[in-house]
Amino acid sequence: MIIVLKNNQTESKINEFKEYLEKKYNVGIHVSVGRDSVVLGLIGDTSAVDEDSIRAQEIVQEVKRVQEPYKKANRKFHPDDTVITLENGLKIGDGSVTLIAGPCSVESEEQVTEVAEAVKKSGAVILRGGAFKPRTSPYAFQGMGADGLKLLRLARKRTGLPIISEVMSVSQLELFEDVDIIQVGARNMQNFDLLKALGKQRRPVLLKRGLANTIEELLMSAEYIMSNGNENVILCERGIRTFETKTRNTLDISAVPILKKLSHLPVFIDPSHAAGIPWLVEPLSMAAVAAGADGLIIEVHNNPAKALCDGSQSLTPDMFDSVVNNVKKIAAAVDRKVSVFKAAVDI
């Protein structure tokens, strides 16, 4: 971090500020005295240095960060890719493409098991299904709650597929103890209490990018989880809000190579919530894999017209089958494998 001081500061004022910074942030200071101005270079870990508070000091003209404010998620300090291993041995982030699929929300035993069996047959290796749903309208279906998680576990038992489901609040977390991956939805990306609590438990977390959040904010949210003790985080781009109205959101495909460059964490794409339209899910999935995504999370329903949530963007099992076939072609073209099912340990 570089701090430019205002002109004509006395030596004692500069020294006083220097000592304040050294003490408060435990950093070294390099002072360079120019003809007109004095510049302080902070040496050491500056991730805890509050830029705004420095800017507010009387003596300060300008502050500039030269190092990213995230440490744990930063590839600079962890050059190798993070590989997350689930209980059944499935590896995420090892270079292969991991396919997650399932309904937006769990609706009934028949629905979730039928979809689970269909997506498994096509090549999905993890089953998704929301039990707690963050809906825009309080009058819309809010999910089956704990019963939904029970049905998801049942589908896991029947198919052997590990499961992923969204947690919306700290108080729900105890229900997720045996859920293989815990999802943080776009609307909760900056629920910092939830992120801290997820850092204190051991399950991997799939963290979705907020509707209007920057890549750096996503990484800072990952940092919350990681700095609290859980380094198994998967980043997920799911489309952001732009002026475009032809899609539900705009898929920021550039987030994939950027996140892979900045961070060692696995990066997934959710083409369903980005597109909002079923036919668009296939080309977006292919683009994601071509761009280097570690996996996809896709909504599939056995009867989209009757779905209680997000039916208008859900694929039928046949459509999902076609997506998988095309994704396999792209994966082969970029020299990557698509993960295959691993028999689960008895749960």
Q: Please give the residue ranges that form the binding site for Mn ion (CB under 5 A).
A: 104, 310
**Using CA atoms, how far apart are residues 214 and 182, in angstroms rounded to an integer?**
22
Q: Are strands 126-128 and 98-102 parallel, antiparallel or unpaired?
A: parallel
The residue type of 66 is V
For residue 200, the minimal CB distance to ligand PEP (Å) is 22
Least separation in angstroms between CB 346 and ligand PEP: 28
Distance CA 316, CA 319 (A): 5
Residue 127 CB, nearest approach to ligand PEP (Å): 13
Binding mask 88-117 for ligand PEP (x = CB under 6 A): ----------------x-------------
Q: Which of 294, 310 has the CB closer to Mn ion?
A: 310
Q: How far is the CB of 137 from Mn ion (least distance, A)?
A: 14
CA angle 7, 11, 16 (to 5 degrees): 105
Give the separation between CA 339 and CA 321, rounded to whole angstroms: 15
The answer to whether the CB of 252 falls within 8 A of the CB of 239 is: yes
Which lies closer to Mn ion via its Cβ, residue 27 or residue 240? 240
Candidate ranges 33-41, 152-160, 179-187, 199-207; the one touching ligand PEP (CB under 6 A): 179-187
Q: Which of 28, 134, 257, 283 binds ligand PEP (CB under 6 A)?
A: 134
Q: How far apart are CA 53 and CA 65, in angstroms?
A: 13
Tokens representing 44 are 């050491």
- Interaction partner, residue 208 (Mn ion, ligand PEP, none; CB < 5-8 Å by kind): ligand PEP
DSSP state letter for 163:
E
The two three-digit tokens of residue 4, written as one number: 């430019």
In the set 123, 130, 199, 204, which binds ligand PEP (CB under 6 A)?
130
* Length of the chain in terms of residues written: 347
The one of Mn ion, ligand PEP, none whose footprint includes residue 156, by CB under 5 to 8 A per kind, is none
Q: Provide the minimum distance between the beta carbon of 242 and ligand PEP in the complex, in angstroms, as a whole number.
A: 15
Q: Does 260 bind ligand PEP (CB under 6 A)?
A: no
Phi, psi of 230 (to 5 degrees): -110, 110
Q: What's the rounded Cα separation, in Å, for the pair 331 and 62?
A: 47
Nearest approach, Cβ of residue 9 and Mn ion (Å):
56
Size of interface with ligand PEP, in residues (CB under 6 A): 10
Which residue, among 23, 83, 20, 106, has the nearest Cα to 57 in the 3D structure? 20
Q: Which of 27, 84, 179, 186 binds ligand PEP (CB under 6 A)?
A: 186
Nearer to Mn ion, 93 or 271 (CB): 271
Nearest distance in Å: CB 143, ligand PEP: 10
Tokens of 217: 């904010």
143 forms part of the interface with ligand PEP (CB under 6 A): no
Give the nearest residue (CB) to ligand PEP. 185
- Residue 208 as a binder of ligand PEP (CB under 6 A): the answer is yes
φ, ψ of residue 3 to 5 degrees: the values are -120, 120
Work out which of 156, 260, 273, 301 binds ligand PEP, going by CB under 6 A: 273
How many Cα atoms are found within 13 Å in the side-chain-facing hemisphere of 97? 31
What is each CA distance from 161 to 158, 208, 222, 304, 342, in whole angstroms?
A: 8, 21, 26, 22, 8
Name the residues that contact ligand PEP, by CB under 6 A. Answer: 104, 130, 134, 185-187, 208, 238, 270, 273
